[in-house]
Amino acid sequence: MLVCGQSATTSQSRYLALDVYGLTGFNRLRYLEGDEIQFKANGERYRAPLASVTDSTFDILVRNEIMDRTEPYTIRFADVDRVYKRKRIPFLTELGFVLPIAGVTYAVADFVNPRSLDGRTGRFRFDPQTLWPSGSMIVAGAIFYKLSHPSYRVGKKNKLRAF
């Protein structure tokens, strides 16, 4: 079918799609040609721009250090084990990095600056009451990091497709 102004030799641009079924329902992640895709295939991690998509394979551009140029590398859909997606969620992405550091700093500061019952400084000792705030900061940071950096396992439930 030709659209007004389109010649008969022009082909539609294909894209790679990952159909994800999760707790919130169905979601389709689309990767157009030129988009950076991060995935794991055959035990190796790749992070490269998507060059082209066919029915059962896709090409990424890999840097050849010896020849000093980028070359296409073909990967089959069946070889992809996992796809990584970086979501930019305001505040949560930053808190995923900052909260664990703050929790460890809080625990170390309590250990280095102890307070005895009479108000004078005593020897170094760890107060068990600081485990709750510092531990909750570390756990919350890990949860926020996992929310903003999900990884999807490709298999029966989540499928890679070409459109």
| pLDDT given for residue 82 in this prediction | 96
47, 29 Cβ separation under 8 angstroms: no
Q: Write the CA distances from 125 to 108, 128, 130, 158, integer angstroms.
A: 10, 10, 12, 50
Instruction: Answer whether 83's CB lies under 8 Å from 37's CB.
Output: yes
Among 158, 149, 161, 160, which residue's Cα sits nearest to residue 21? Answer: 158
Q: Is 149 helix (H, G, I), strand (E, B) or coil?
A: coil
CB-based contact 39:85 (threshold 8 Å)? no
- Longest Cα–Cα distance of the chain, Å, equals 88
pLDDT in tens, the chain (163 residues): 444 444 444 456 789 999 999 888 899 999 999 999 999 999 999 999 999 999 999 999 999 999 989 999 999 999 999 999 988 899 999 999 999 999 999 999 888 876 666 566 566 677 788 899 999 999 999 999 999 999 999 998 999 999 9
pTM over 0.85: no
**Which domains are delineated in the chain?**
15-85+150-162 (2.30.30), 92-147 (no CATH)
Sheet holding 69-76, edge to edge: 69-76, 57-64, 44-53, 36-41, 80-84, 151-153
Neighbours of 9 (CB within 10 A): 5
Closest alpha carbon to 130 in 142, 121, 138, 120: 138
pLDDT score recorded for residue 12: 66
Q: How many CB atoms lie within 10 A of CB 33?
A: 15
* pLDDT confidence of residue 115: 66
Whole-number Å distance between alpha carbons of 61 and 35: 11
pLDDT of residue 116: 61
